[in-house]
Chains A and B, each alone.
Chain A
């Protein structure tokens, strides 16, 4: 989901990890996160924007939030800390945390 370049080719070291993401990487990642969230919350894909959050999505309750976190962890083979789990409260925030963590791996 991060383009097909190898890690070694991804830009100079002084850049922050997220700056190594290009437009396509972001789009692919965002699409994937939105699809997962749409399935978990049982809402149409186009009903989700970057700003979607528990305030705007009625089915974004604590149980579905846990299911969302687990699905993200499985998809990117990552694990969130309790603090991160509590931060993942909008699509945009999820995308940026997932990007960061999947690069750390």
Chain B
């Protein structure tokens, strides 16, 4: 790798050198590689745009070993960082003294990295009794308020405050969750107070340190030995995680954010190659593997809400590609979501130049997403200013790879940014959903569920078989089927395989239920009925049975019968027949047999569910015929 980087640097191919250095950094983000990256960056900085930026740490723990990591990470995203570090634990004095190192350094950004265990040891180890706790919360918030007020009046620097971390082991143990003097609750209260504090001041931002630690894994984060020895609280491998989080703030603050994301189509926005697999063959949707591509689309939707423009650059025939984007049922992003499109067989670098021109931004404001290493390499060589994000081989990792890049972060949104997305609408709905519900019916109503039961689509036979294989809880008989068996049953006289899909206000849950039904003159038998645990406890099963009764009436069946076969895990389905007007007619070794009179039963779909029996928009009649 080093030889490759040296050769690229020697030949003046700086974009290529930087991307190789980036790959090396991604593989081994440690202090040694950081120093090497910085050495290389000193050579490419003349050619590749790098924004100088000064960062000063006010801190209660050791950050020094992370400084080269931060500078190297910055160099790879277009920042030339100069970093100053204040004396350990003396953050308040530094802020209050007019002539301290802090003010002499003239930082662009100040990071206040203070830990719970330092500023509020009572909330980390020794819990304080109830009455004292409010005083601790008030005192800590008072500290931060004084610090922010003073810094804002004496320095033009932006401020990043680390929010506090919840204790790993609260003094009360699990009881911490209930007690009025719970330590975790007190930390949350402080963090709420910090939220209010930062919202009152422009240029002050809160870094969710607790979430960062939790996302990584609280128990994996801490290194008590290094804490005691050198006041370094986290393990070596967590340092790049911390550094990347700082960069997510510094990049937008320094104005190095990406303004336009240019994405490929084949094997990027969808799985497969449109030109080879055809519009029906490409994969995007809510099931595996299409869900991974949809997750990337969701990522781009989120970026668009932040005011980042989307563009397409793909080697395809334009009419077909646009048609696929606009008509494929699994696509989140339609062609109208893109501010510029270049779907042609021209070189991508040329297309990127045109897109930058059309949208009136510099090349350094573009990020380019592509799954092809060849295309990525070409763009890196020809347009080193462009941020190239080469997607990993595994589509499941696409979205996380893109989201991790600090260039897509925004610290504030203009009204114009916000108007671009539907952020507000969605956000409002989520908040309402979190509200307490008076009754369980109110909750069901609020879900606005739509249940569709249809004959299994040939494309879904695999998913249906898979559901029979892995659904254990709500499964009346526990019978498993292969894809071939489902395929055969779906075509057999006197048998029906139903797939049940559920939509609710939050989106599509996909296929979550299956009924395998057989019938002869007068009697229908439920051979299998199951429901994924995704939708247990939402009365979907009642809707399914009501639809099955409707189907039974179309066939003029007299009885619907079914077995309940107890297994180790299907307790949740045990009372299903009894609760749905079935009468037990037999109890054998295998289980119990139940029967429902089709004509006279009063089984109805719950009023909070819209249920329909259909196949591709046809009405129920065609299923029975």
Seen from chain A, the residues whose Cβ lies within 8 Å of a Cβ on chain B are: 35-40, 42, 63, 66-71, 73-75, 77, 79, 81-82, 85
Q: Which of A39, A69, A70 contacts B239 (CB 8 A)?
A: A70
Q: Give the chain A neighbours of B31 by CB distance below 8 A.
A: 39-40, 67-68, 70-71
Shortest C-beta distance, B57 to chain A (Å), equals: 14
Q: Give the chain B neighbours of A37 by CB distance below 8 A.
A: 32
Q: Give the chain B neighbours of A79 by CB distance below 8 A.
A: 223, 225, 235-236
CB pair B32–A73 under 8 Å, yes or no, is: no
A66, A69, A73: most-surrounded residue (chain B CB, <10 A): A66
Q: Give the chain B neighbours of A63 by CB distance below 8 A.
A: 64-65
Q: Chain A at the B interface: mostly helix, strand, loop or mixed?
A: helix
Q: Which of B65, B225, B239 contacts A81 (CB 8 A)?
A: B225
CB pair A39–B32 under 8 Å, yes or no, is: yes
Q: Which residue of chain A has its CB nearest to the CB of B62?
A: A66
**Count of B residues near A, CB < 8 Å?**
22
CB pair B236–A39 under 8 Å, yes or no, is: no
CB pair A73–B236 under 8 Å, yes or no, is: yes
Q: Which residue of chain A has its CB nearest to the CB of B2?
A: A35
Q: Which residue of chain A has its CB nearest to the CB of B223?
A: A79
- Considering only residues 36-60 of chain B, those with a C-beta below 8 Å from chain A are 36
CB pair B35–A39 under 8 Å, yes or no, is: yes
Q: Please, how many angstroms separate the alpha-carbon atoms of A63 and B63 in the complex?
A: 11
Is B28 an interface position by the 8 A CB rule? yes
CB pair A66–B230 under 8 Å, yes or no, is: yes
A and B contact pairs by CB, cutoff 8 A, 28 listed = A36-B30, A37-B32, A39-B31, A39-B35, A39-B36, A40-B32, A42-B35, A63-B65, A66-B62, A66-B230, A68-B32, A69-B236, A70-B30, A70-B65, A70-B236, A71-B30, A71-B32, A73-B236, A73-B237, A74-B28, A74-B30, A74-B236, A74-B237, A75-B30, A77-B237, A79-B225, A82-B225, A82-B228
Shortest C-beta distance, A80 to chain B (Å), equals: 8
Shortest C-beta distance, B226 to chain A (Å), equals: 8
CB pair B32–A35 under 8 Å, yes or no, is: yes
CB pair A75–B35 under 8 Å, yes or no, is: no
Q: Give the chain B neighbours of A38 by CB distance below 8 A.
A: 32
Q: Which 10 A-B pairs have the closest CB atoms?
A: A39-B32, A73-B236, A71-B30, A70-B236, A67-B31, A36-B32, A74-B30, A74-B236, A71-B31, A39-B35
Q: Please, how many angstroms separate the alpha-carbon atoms of A85 and B225 in the complex?
A: 11
CB pair B68–A66 under 8 Å, yes or no, is: no
Shortest C-beta distance, B36 to chain A (Å), equals: 5
- A73-B236, A79-B235 known; A67-B65 Cβ under 8 A: yes
A66, A67, A79, A82: most-surrounded residue (chain B CB, <10 A): A67
Q: Which residue of chain A has its CB nearest to the CB of B238?
A: A74
Q: Give the chain A neighbours of B230 by CB distance below 8 A.
A: 66
Q: Give the chain B neighbours of A75 by CB distance below 8 A.
A: 28, 30
Q: Give the chain A neighbours of B312 by CB distance below 8 A.
A: none
Shortest C-beta distance, A63 to chain B (Å), equals: 6
Q: Give the chain B neighbours of A70 by CB distance below 8 A.
A: 30-31, 65, 236, 239
12 further contact pairs, Cβ within 8 A, besides A40-B32, A67-B31: A35-B32, A39-B33, A39-B35, A63-B65, A66-B62, A68-B31, A69-B236, A71-B30, A71-B32, A73-B236, A74-B29, A77-B237
Q: Give the chain A neighbours of B30 by CB distance below 8 A.
A: 36, 70-71, 74-75
Q: Please, how many angstroms separate the alpha-carbon atoms of A71 and B236 in the complex?
A: 7
Q: Give the chain B neighbours of A82 by CB distance below 8 A.
A: 225, 228-229
Is B232 an interface position by the 8 A CB rule? yes
CB pair A40–B35 under 8 Å, yes or no, is: yes
Q: Give the chain A neighbours of B68 by CB distance below 8 A.
A: 67
Shortest C-beta distance, A68 to chain B (Å), equals: 7
Shortest C-beta distance, B494 to chain A (Å), equals: 56
Shortest C-beta distance, B473 to chain A (Å), equals: 38
Q: Please, how many angstroms separate the alpha-carbon atoms of A77 and B232 in the complex?
A: 17
CB pair B32–A66 under 8 Å, yes or no, is: no
Q: Give the chain B neighbours of A73 by CB distance below 8 A.
A: 235-237
